[in-house]
Amino acid sequence: MLTLIIFSSSLAAADVSGKMIAYGCFSCHTEKSFNLKLPVPKLTQALIAFKYNKKQATIMDRIAKGYTDAELNAVATYLGNLK
């Protein structure tokens, strides 16, 4: 039971951090642009590619470097599930 509580609380924390990070995204990208049901794995891969200089960017590479891979996955999950 304890494992379930820890796991569910870590999911809730990921949800909150993804949402908080997403509000920073909306300063350049509109919330409507994420309402297209982007596939989460593809968005996560793009963010991680920016972070590790595997994808060309003007500013996204610098932004992505400020987050852990888990935080990038959390924001991709949040954005990919917007309705």
Delimit the domains of the chain by residue range: 2-80
Task: Please name the fold of domain 2-80.
Answer: Cytochrome Bc1 Complex; Chain D, domain 2 (1.10.760)
- The pLDDT score that the predictor gives to residue 26 is 85
**pLDDT for res 35:** 66
pLDDT < 70: residue spans in the chain:
1-16, 35-37
Which of 65, 72, 60 shows the shortest CA–CA distance to 22?
72
Q: What is the pTM of this model?
A: 0.74
| pLDDT, position 14 | 54
Q: What torsion, rounded to 10 degrees, do the Cα atoms 69, 73, 48, 23 define? A: -100
Query: Which pLDDT score, from 0 to 100, does residue 4 have?
Result: 43
